[in-house]
A and B are shown apart, each in its own frame.
Chain A
Amino acid sequence: MTALPPPAPPLALLAVTGLEQSFGGVMALAGVSFRVAEGLIYAVIGPNGAGKTTLFNALCGFYRPSAGSIRFADRELLGLPPHRIAACGIGRTFQNLQLFFNMSVVENVMVGCHLRARASLLAAALRLPGVRRQERHLRAWSMEALELCELADRAAQPAGALPYGLMKRVEIARALAAKPRLLLLDEPAAGLNDTETLALRELIARIRASGVTVLLVEHHMPLVMGVSDRLLVLDYGSVLAEGTPADIQADPRVVAAYLGGAVSYAV
């Protein structure tokens, strides 16, 4: 018997390699590489204009990066349209609210279940028994997602009638309703007060506990340092540093470029 080869390192859920995205000569992403292991809360930080949202939009297929690779669960995502990427198991929220203001809260979340719904146009128009049964399931799934986000009592309200902090939660519930493996949160704490931010931190931990890997773009440093397992620091479209919150806070380059002085974010 020959000796077994050493065990391979655990496969990353998301592996981004050499991602490049330029807008008319400006390199918004200049060869970004990183790996996110399954089950982590992974944060991407950096000054404004560092390329964080560009990275999200590239991951979701809204931009077509000029070079690089995005492997997710052993599939290449580069070049797929957004709805196909969503079907691979990636959900997201948006920095600027993108709620469906023409629908109720629960209907918003039911759109999130779209990938789990099967209904042909004809079956839906005739409201066949299968469609009726599925509607009940979709509503129940959506209520589950709303309960996780503590929004169940708001289900019937028009999405536009909620306070801002709750609207951001509806976006999270809507993304979770699709049962993604990876959830991208784009500045979920922006515009929230301290109480809401604390609740958000608990929510992100609950989401991870339910088995969803979280990729987080956020400026709120106490939240990021408190909740993340690992961080990626971007600056001018390049990776400045990568590591645990303790590594990052100790990294002199990060301190110089971004955090601005020796500040500790012990939480």
Chain B
Amino acid sequence: MRLAGFYAFAATVALLPALFPDNYFVVVVGASAGLNVILAVGLNLLMGYAGQISLGHAAFFGLGAYASAILTTRFGWPSLLALAAGLIAAGLLAWAFARPILRLRGHYLAMATLGFGVIVHVIMVQATGWTGGPDGLAGVPPLDLFGWEVSGDLQWYGVIMAAALLAVWLSLNLVDSPVGRALRAVHGSEFAAQMMGVDTARAKTQAFVVSALFAAFAGSLFAHQQAFVSPDSFDLTVSVELVTMVVLGGLASTFGAACGAIALTLLQQALVVFEDYEMLIHGALLMAVMIFLPQGLFVGLTQAARRLGSALVRSRPSVAA
């Protein structure tokens, strides 16, 4: 029962390519949405549950991607080992930055994480010897899963969606555990959380590290899927998009974050036909959602559906009476 939503999500993801075989939109856009789901679900643990903002999350996404790209192309590491190294690097970096950064609140935390994202992006552009600079790194080998080389759009769809489901499952588990409740308590009242014995500095650090790990994991998959990485994929715009996904879907809801990620990915695809007006419509839609569904798409629409349902039940003449 606790995982009912998870099973529904898994079934949808598995059925889509079967219902629409050889459909470019499903497998390619779907894979891209899947990566965004991992990123948004991870960021939601920090933003939605622990109540801490990060405007530099693309940095961890990029760190995972560059770790995989550099270690596999320049040092010939096996892809899984490179992925693990990327996770460790992102986790350590997040851990080291968490204590000083998470002392800050509100606008100051936003500024600090923004600065962090900008610094990492500058390093990606400037450290040409390692990263290839603005031109990026090409020729990232395919992901090798114990001898199975992932290739083709459909296989990538499968791998990324499996990873996205794993991210959703981990997030659902965490939220409904002492660790997750401690995070939510920090958001609810830091004062009271401390008095319940919650080490709030530690709880925030954990949230920051976990969300960084999710992002680095997505980054690593992204590097192999695209076979190419460049700094453009990890700049400030991407960080802002990630925040938008979480807020759009609905803060403090794992499925909300997942829905936000999928909705924003689809929206960007759909708006391509409007060419010059794309950003205009994009911005207007986001503003409309925030004004009319302040709790986000997922929570807002489920509540609207429930209200509609009960209205229909009421309007029907009662048979029992």
Residues of A within 8 A of B (CB): 60, 62, 81-83, 86-87, 91-92, 94, 98-103, 107, 110-115, 117-119, 121, 124-127, 131, 134-135, 138, 174-175, 178
Contact = CB atoms under 8 A, between A and B. Distances in A.
User: Which 6 residue pairs are nearest across A and B when measured between Cβ atoms?
Assistant: A100-B188, A124-B177, A98-B192, A82-B194, A115-B197, A117-B178
Given A62-B191, A100-B192, A103-B184, A83 B200 contact: yes
A94 B178 contact: no
A94 B199 CA distance: 19
20 contacts: A82-B194, A98-B189, A98-B192, A99-B192, A100-B185, A100-B189, A100-B192, A103-B181, A107-B181, A107-B184, A110-B181, A111-B181, A111-B182, A114-B181, A118-B178, A124-B173, A127-B173, A127-B177, A134-B178, A135-B177
B298 to A, nearest CB: 16
Nearest to B190: A98
Given A115-B197, A121-B206, 17 more contacts: A82-B194, A87-B197, A92-B195, A100-B185, A102-B184, A102-B252, A103-B185, A103-B188, A110-B178, A111-B182, A114-B181, A114-B182, A121-B210, A135-B177, A138-B178, A175-B195, A178-B197
Interface string B227-271: 000000000000000000000000010000000000000000000
B296 to A, nearest CB: 14
A252 B198 CA distance: 45
A111 B199 CA distance: 12
Interface string B215-229: 000000000000000
B103 to A, nearest CB: 14
B200 to A, nearest CB: 7
Contacts, number: 101
A256 B6 CA distance: 67
A227 to B, nearest CB: 23
Contacts of B210: 121, 125
Contacts of B291: none
Contacts of B191: 62, 94, 98
B285 interface: no
Contact of B197 (A62, A83, A107, A126): A83
Contacts of B195: 60, 82-83, 86, 91-92, 98, 175
B54 to A, nearest CB: 18
A114 B188 contact: no
B179 A86 contact: no
A83 to B, nearest CB: 5
Residue from the set B176, B177, B178 with the largest chain A CB neighbour count within 10 Å: B178
A193 B241 CA distance: 50
B170 interface: yes
B180 interface: yes
B199 to A, nearest CB: 5
Contact of A101 (B176, B188, B194, B198): B188
A100 B176 CA distance: 15
B196 A124 contact: no
Contact of A125 (B174, B185, B194, B252): B174
Contacts of A101: 188
